[in-house]
Structure 1
Amino acid sequence: MTRPPLLLVDAPSLYFRAYFGIPESAAKAPDGSPVNAVRGFLDMISTLIRNRRPDRLVCALDYDWRPAWRVELLPSYKAHRLVPAGDAEVVPDTLEPQVPLILEALAAVGIPAIGCDGYEADDVLGTLATTQPGPIEVASGDRDLFQLVDDAKPVRLLYCGRGVAKLEDCDGAAVRAKYGVPPEGYADFAALRGDPSDGLPGVTGVGEKTAARLIDRYGDLAGIVAAMDDPVAGFAPGLRGKLLAARDYLAVAPRVVRVARDAPLPPVDPTLPRGPVDPDGLLAFAEKWNVAGPCRRLVDALAERA
């Protein structure tokens, strides 16, 4: 009998989507504070538990959304998200105070939420997906996490680009059908294509189709770089020129895009409880912040697994 999956949740990815998906006017605490991200996030977790039926669950956090080691390699990395004249990320004023509330609710339920200094949530997910026993499902709207898909373990990506209710359950074949590369080639593919949302410029004039064709022909970025200096490699002159012009970028970009698999995470017990570990605390939280419905739905989703 196949064991139920370990569900790894990209918490920032989901609570940003919850915040922008529910109007503030539709979810307010008794004191008038918006709780749209709290409401939406808890309902997303409930939906995932109900539909995927995991026996283990961990939420990953961004302790460092723009790690210095990535910026040192590529200064443009997420630079467009910085607040003016500062090092902090631009976060909506009404979302920031909701994040501690989400963590408070998770703690009352008994769902661990962990991060690691110097690493992003992606790296937490990558490390857990590597070190924890499978099967594993990773819930995120971040395309970079397609590189974690591994049919052998297995690890699947529940891609939430259109929301949790319309997630795409992706294995290796789905990644190849979507992008034309296997999961292990996705980081190099993304480096070639670029990603404006992360400040990755890519190679000028190289889009998804060309990037996929290059990965398919040469195997990986190292093979492409080696072929750049081979006069019989068969590059069109224009493409060779574009790749040569981006040589310095291509030397560092894959290390920026690749998710860390060895972040020094704190110990974690991923076991998903059958009910809240602090029911009184969760009840008080629900009443204080006017989120009784989402909290009840989460408790019901836990109980349905019994």
Structure 2
Amino acid sequence: MTTDRLLLLDSASLYFRAFFGVPETGAEGAVPTNAVRGFLDMIASLVSRSQASHLVACWDNDWRPAFRVEAIPTYKTHRLTEGSDVQEESPEALTPQVPIIRDALAALGIPRLGADGYEADDVIGTLVHRHKGTMPIDVVTGDRDLFQLVDDAAQVRVLYTAKGGVRAPDVVTQAFLAEKYGIADGDQYADMAILRGDSSDGLPGVKGIGDKTAAKLITTYGSLAGLRAAVDGGDPAIKGAQRTRLEEGSDYLDVGPLVVRVARDAPVADVPITLPMTVADPVLMSKLATEHGLTNSFTRVLDALGMA
């Protein structure tokens, strides 16, 4: 029995995890399918466990959007192929699997939504903004950046897969954020993330300010805006090296929110997102199952969707 609940999948986060976590068992010379199988099995597990009524596979149409690069040119530069503006290739055995994942979602009738010029995080942020208050929402990801969407009042939580995968994720609510970081909610998490920066995304942060200091400052002043107002107003509690660092980081703090905060208004298509009740393209599904040995994975998804 399904209940009203929307699952938003950070697709790349999940299929990368599947690629590195599921062994490849195909014949030598065949197109590998471990990421495909793992991703489909994740969907089956998530739908079965959550009994959700709605599902979207959110997609990166642009992994390094121009508006973020314009704000902070170092954004994800470490992921560029040296000497070019091209993203480093994904693992050789993963690249041919991504089109198969797209086809599998299309065959099943599971909506796959992206937006040109935006990342999957922005698609998720937009869909959360669009649907929160209408039903509970679970964001499934291995990316801490999306903790900023946590909102108990709107019943938005994150199922964080970095440690336990989709079968035993950390369920990130405001209580989790308070215990782990000492902050109140998703908005404060975003402000904390801006302050501390993130070397994995090429975000410098304010020099000398890590998680604990950032959390304390945001908690003390309520928000990044409140902290900056206190700095500008000469609050005597902010002094010495800390004041110097915050003042020197002012230009970064002007643009940091443009990069760290996910979009709420990306041009994401408004399509039906209820769980499919019938296979959208049986011929395509049969072809994929036969050519790539995906029969068992498709069967598990169909069973979870109540179509088996």
Give the shorter-chain TM-score range.
over 0.9
Match of 1:96 in 2: 95
What displacement does 1:231 show?
3.2
How far apart in 2 are the matches of 1:142 and 1:294? 25
Structure 1: stretches of 5+ with no match in the other structure: none
Determine the structure 2 residue equivalent to 1:283: 286
Please give the TM-score of this superposition, normalised by the length of structure 1.
0.94
> Displacement, 1:184?
1.3
Question: Which of 68, 78, 81 is the aligned partner of 1:80?
Answer: 78
1:157-306 → structure 2 map (5 Å cutoff): 157-162=158-163, 163-181=165-183, 182-303=185-306
Contact 2:3–2:51 under 8 Å retained in 1:
no
**Gaps (5+ residues) in structure 2?**
none
Q: Deviations over 1:85-127 (max 9, x none)?
A: 2223222222122111001001111101010011100000000
Deviations along 1:40-81, one digit per CA (max 9) or x if unpaired, are: 111111111111111110111000110000000001111111
How far apart, in 1, do the equivalents of 2:223 and 2:100 lie? 43
Give matches, 1:102-117, under 5 Å.
102-117=101-116
Is the 1:29–1:290 Cα contact (8 Å) retained in structure 2?
Answer: no
| CA distance in 1: counterparts of 2:166 and 2:234, whole angstroms | 48
Matched ranges for 1:23-62 at <5 A:
23=23, 26-28=24-26, 31-62=29-60
Q: Following TM superposition, by how much is the alpha carbon of 1:241 offset from its aligned partner in structure 2, in angstroms?
A: 1.4
* Code of the aligned partner of 1:243: L
Deviation for aligned residue 1:30: 7.5
- Alignment partners' CA distance in 2, 1:227 and 1:58: 41
**Matched residue type, 2:111:** P
Q: Tell me how far 1:295 sits from its aligned partner.
A: 1.4
SS of alignment partner, residue 165 of structure 1: coil
Residue 31 of structure 1 deviates from its aligned partner by: 4.7
SS of corresponding position for 2:158: strand
The 3-state SS of whatever aligns with 1:204 is: coil
Post-superposition CA distance 1:163-196 (Å, at most 9, x none): 2122112222222222222211111100111111
Runs of 4+ in 1 over 6 A off after TM superposition: none
Aligned AA for 2:37? R
Question: Which TM-score applies when normalising by structure 2?
Answer: 0.93
Contact 1:22 1:37 in 2 (8 A): yes
Match of 2:123 in 1: 124
The number of residues matched between the two structures is 303
Q: Which residue identity does 1:5 align to in structure 2?
A: R
After superposition, the C-alpha distances for 1:26-45 in whole angstroms (9 at most, x for unaligned) are 23368522111111111111
Deviation at 1:232, TM superposition (A): 3.5
Task: Kindly indicate whether residue 73 of structure 2 is the aligned counterpart of residue 70 of structure 1.
Answer: no
CA deviation vs aligned residue, 1:197-222 (integer Å, no higher than 9, x gap): 11111112111110000000111111
Q: Which amino acid aligns with 1:155?
A: V
Which piece of structure 1 moves more, 254-263 or 151-160?
151-160
How much does 1:22 deviate? 2.1
Q: Distance in 2 between matches of 1:286 and 1:258?
A: 39
In 2, Cα distance between equivalents of 1:89 and 1:126: 23
The percent identity for this pair of structures is: 51
